[in-house]
């Protein structure tokens, strides 16, 4: 089945130690998103790619970076994780259309813990 | 049972009853809306969507109603089952921001036997 796959499902890192989360998709969608979701809250958009065009949210900390080497893969890099960065990180994709109004397909997320 | 939206984050429903989950959206310029279901430990899953040129859309056991006059969206689930227990999010597109959505706070639905 076509899907969005996130690895790992659970990630533990130390305070200040860089960490990379991965997302791959078999949907061949040209738009990929990264969201942060804290407990009992809605997903919060960090950034998204339309093809290779990167779009950062104004309130996304500089500590968060992303890479998209090809259509299928997208990475979230957290350069110096703080305790406040402990959260679920969700990757999503959507097919690009002229109006952008398409459902997003989510992976099952990576739960990040900071020691 | 009926949720009054963001101020009542938990909706308890008896199995077999119909559920109504409400969502008040913020921007009158929004013209596309989605309902997602998120089970514990999983990502949000698309349920149904609706565009602003419609006021009702039906899927399998679900119906979405859109009232643009009062900026209100609802999700009705018929014959609620234990597998419907989850958090439900509405999302509205952000006008003039291609491909971006604002999520509501979510409603936890608990199905009791």
pLDDT tens-digit map of A19-53:
999 999 999 999 999 999 998 899 999 999 999 99
Nearest CA in chain B to A30: B99
Question: What structural domains and CATH numbers belong to chain B?
Answer: 5-112 (2.60.40.10)
Task: Name the A residues in 21-80 with CB < 8 Å from any B CB.
Answer: 31, 40-43, 45, 48, 50
Q: Please provide the average confidence, as pLDDT, over all residues in chain B.
A: 91
Average pLDDT value for residue range B4-26: 82
By three-state DSSP, how is residue B33 classified? Answer: strand
Q: Please provide the average confidence, as pLDDT, over all residues in chain A.
A: 94
Asked if residue B8 has pLDDT above 70, the reply is: no
A-chain CB neighbours of B99 within 8 Å are: 31, 48, 50, 94, 96, 100-102
How many residues in total does chain B contain?
113
pLDDT of residue B61: 96
With CA atoms as reference, report the closest residue to A2 among A76, A110, A96, A95.
A95
Report DSSP letters for A22-53, one per residue: EEEESS--SEEEEEEE-TTS--EEEEEEETTE
- What residues does each domain of chain A span? 4-114
CA B6/CA B102 separation, integer angstroms: 14
Which tokens go with B113? 């036997």
pLDDT tens-digit map of B42-64:
999 999 999 999 999 999 999 99
With CA atoms as reference, report the closest residue to A26 among A1, A51, A7, A8.
A1
pLDDT tens-digit map of B98-108:
889 999 999 99
Interface of B with A (CB under 8 A): 9, 31-32, 34, 36, 41-46, 49, 51, 89, 93, 98-101, 103-106
Categorize the per-residue pLDDT at A71 as very low, low, confident or very high, splitting at 50, 70 and 90.
Answer: very high
**Each residue of B33-71: b (16+ CB within 10 Å) or e?**
bbbbbbeeeebbeebbbbebeeeeeeeeebbbbbeeeee
Superfamily name with CATH number, domain A4-114:
Immunoglobulins (2.60.40.10)
With CA atoms as reference, report the closest residue to B39 among B109, B113, B112.
B109
Q: Which residues pair with A20 in a beta bridge?
A: A77
């Amino acid at each position: 089945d076509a899907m969005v796959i996130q690895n790992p499902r659970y990630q533990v890192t130390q305070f200040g130690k860089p960490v990379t989360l991965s997302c791959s998709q078999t949907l061949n969608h040209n738009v990929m998103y990264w969201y942060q979701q804290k407990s009992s809250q809605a997903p919060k958009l960090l950034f998204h790619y339309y093809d290779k065009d990167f779009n950062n949210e104004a309130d996304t900390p500089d500590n968060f970076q992303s890479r998209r080497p090809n259509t299928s893969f997208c990475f979230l890099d957290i350069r110096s994780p703080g305790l406040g960065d402990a959260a679920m990180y969700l990757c999503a994709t959507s097919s690009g259309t002229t109006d952008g109004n398409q459902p997003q397909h989510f992976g099952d997320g990576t739960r990040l813990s900071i020691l | 049972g009926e949720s009054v939206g963001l101020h009542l984050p938990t909706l308890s429903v008896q199995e077999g009853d119909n559920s109504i989950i409400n969502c008040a959206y913020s921007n009158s310029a929004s013209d596309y809306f989605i309902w997602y279901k998120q089970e514990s430990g999983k990502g949000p899953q698309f349920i149904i969507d609706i565009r602003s040129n419609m006021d009702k859309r039906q899927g399998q056991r679900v119906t979405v109603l859109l009232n643009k006059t009062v900026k209100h969206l609802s999700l009705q689930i018929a014959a609620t089952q234990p597998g419907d227990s989850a958090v439900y999010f509405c999302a509205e597109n952000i006008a003039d921001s291609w491909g971006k959505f604002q999520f509501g706070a979510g409603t936890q639905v608990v199905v009791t036997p």
